Every structure is written in C-alpha cells, then in structure tokens.
Structure 1
Amino acid sequence: MSLTFRRAQPEDMGLLLSLIKELARYEHLEREVTATEEILSEWLFAKKKAEVIFPMLENEAIGYVLYFYNFSTFLGKAGIYVEDLFIRPEFRHKGHGKALLRHIARKAEAEGLGRVEWACLDWNEPSIAFYLSLGAVSMQGWSAYRLTGQKLTAFAQTRDE
C-alpha cells in the first residue's frame, strides 16, 4: 500500500470533524472543539481561509494536515503555517507523518515560499522528538499569545485611546 494525498472536498467535512475530535482527545482539548461541519465548510470552501490534505492508504484517510498561508516581513515572502498535523495512532511510526509534512514542504518549495512553521504542545515529547529529527528548530525566546472568545470580543469592543 502506498501513501497518496488528497485535498479535502466539501463532502469531507464529517470526516475532517471526526479527525479534529480525535486530535483534540489526544491533546486533552476536547472541550475546545466548537467547530461543526457547516463552520468548516464555510471557512475552508466559501471563504477559502485554509486548506486540508488527507494522507490516504487505499481509500482510507489516516489523518490530515490543515494549513494556511502567512507572511514574513523579514523574509519578504509568504510561508505556510501548519495548524494541525495528525496521523491516527494505529498508523504512526510508519513514516506517514514525515511523508505528510514532506508533502507540505515540497508545496512550499514549489511555490517559492520562505518557510513552514507550526506549534507543538510542550508536553508532547513524541512529536517534539519527531520534529527535531526532521531538522526543525524550536523557536526559543518566542511565546505564542492568543485572544479568543469573550476576551477577543471585549478587546475588539474597547474604545480607541
């Protein structure tokens, strides 16, 4: 069985949502998932804000990668930000995650992009070891920040000073 890659289609939103929930369970973040098939379809296909690729064995999706384009002012080029990279547990340690990330790296190279980047939970030692084995480097000295939910709404509604 050889691994192939397939772009998500609107009819794949049930599959994608189930994989997102699997990832959330693995990351102990199930309570964070508020996405629905309709929301995913709107943002992925109507608004075209991100893209999804499924790694396929035969006719089975064994995971997914969801990514979008960002921009580096220092490089003066766009890049790819990988929001999710997930391989189902029973398919791990077979090179599929590496092949999926390589697929994204080749896309970045083919498009002349400046970089591929992603975040990883600090406790996820197996993933950290995997990323380091690929030659990725941790962004030491940088911390991620996020506004979401009520705090995002409250900040957006404050008056300019």
Structure 2
Amino acid sequence: MSLRLEDATEDDLPLVLHYVRALAEYEKLLHEVTATEDDFRRLLFGSPARAEALIARWEGQPCGFALWFYSVSTFDGAPKLYVEDVFVDPVQRGRGFGRAIFADLARRALKAGCSRMEWNVLDWNAPSIAFYRSIGALPREGWTLQRLSGDALRALAGKES
C-alpha cells in the first residue's frame, strides 16, 4: 500500500483533535489546548469554513495530519496558504510523510493562486527547522510574531473580562 492524503471529513474530527493535542504535547504546550471537536467542526465545516485539514494514512491507518487556512498578501495582491499545524506520528517519521504533506499543500497553494506558504516553528525545534530547510523554506528575517489575546484583546475591544 501507499501513503494517502485525504481531506478531513466530520468523521475525522476526533483524529484532528488527537493530532492537535499530540503536536501541543510535543511542543510542550498541551496546557494551552482548549479546542474541542465542536470547535473544529465549526472551523472546518461551518458556513463559512475558516480552515481546511487533511489526514495522512499509511496502509489505511492514520499517521499524521495538516491544518491550514488562506490569508492574503497586500504587497503582491495574492492569497497565501498559512500552515497552522502539521504533525506526523513519531514512529512514522523519516519515511517522507512530512515531505508528502508539504508537497500536497504546495500543490493546493499553487492551484489557489497563492504566491507563498508560511508557518511558524518554535526556535528550539531543530529537527523541524532542518526539515524545513531541506524543502527550501527560509526564515522571515527581521519579523517577529505579535499576539493579542485574553484580557488584553478584550480590553482593546472595550469588552470586560
């Protein structure tokens, strides 16, 4: 058999949540995961859908996933594909599954008219950084991610906690 990359369906929601939690655990951020299957149902299958996901299957068994969404680049006037999460089961790593997932996402990006793909990686995650360099990805020098959430988000919006 071979690797199959399939668009996630509502039946895959438990797998999506499983892989999000597995990635968070690997990144030492499991304590930050509050998402539920219902949250992913709204994100992936609501009207409008806000994101997309795929499940990777090897010999019919799940072995990884990806979740992404589209945003825009005002500088080049084109959409871009933002990869939120990619995770391959640790026992399946080194078999080309991550490369296959990123290649699939690259094809989707080109089909959608995207000028680029982007994602974040934790600075301590040397294996992932090495993999990203091997597929031709480069860091965005001179830029840092900014985040507004929780009480600060509500305060700026003029909403009480």
- Asked whether the two chains share a fold, i.e. TM above 0.5, the reply is yes
Letter in 2 for 1:29: L
Shift of 1:103: 0.3
The size of the alignment, in residue pairs, is 158
CA distance in 2, matches of 1:132, 1:149: 34
Shift of 1:111: 2.3
- Residue 81 of structure 1 is matched in structure 2 by 82
TM-score w.r.t. structure 1 length?
0.94
Shift of 1:26: 0.1
Query: Does structure 1 residue 154 correspond to structure 2 residue 161?
Result: no
- Residue 111 of structure 2 is matched in structure 1 by 110
Shift of 1:110: 2.1
CA distance in 1, matches of 2:33, 2:134: 30
CA distance in 2, matches of 1:19, 1:60: 14
Which deviates more, 127-136 or 145-154?
A: 145-154
What secondary structure sits across from 1:34 in the alignment? coil
CA distance in 1, matches of 2:57, 2:92: 11
Identity %: 44
CA distance in 1, matches of 2:93, 2:81: 23
Q: Structure 1 segments of 4 or more deviating over 6 A? A: none
What secondary structure sits across from 1:68 in the alignment? strand
Which string of whole-angstrom CA distances, capped at 9 and with x for unpartnered residues, describes residues 79-107 of structure 1? 10000011110110111000100000011
Which deviates more, 63-72 or 9-18?
A: 9-18
TM-score w.r.t. structure 2 length?
0.94
Letter in 2 for 1:59: G
- Residue 38 of structure 2 is matched in structure 1 by 38
What secondary structure sits across from 1:74 in the alignment? coil
Consecutive unaligned residues of structure 1, counting only runs of 5 or more, are none
Which deviates more, 52-61 or 23-32?
A: 52-61
Q: Which structure 2 residues correspond to residues 20-39 of structure 1 after superposition, within 5 A?
A: 20-39=20-39
Q: Which structure 2 residues correspond to residues 1-80 of structure 1 after superposition, within 5 A?
A: 1-46=1-46, 47-80=48-81
Consecutive unaligned residues of structure 2, counting only runs of 5 or more, are none
Letter in 1 for 2:43: W
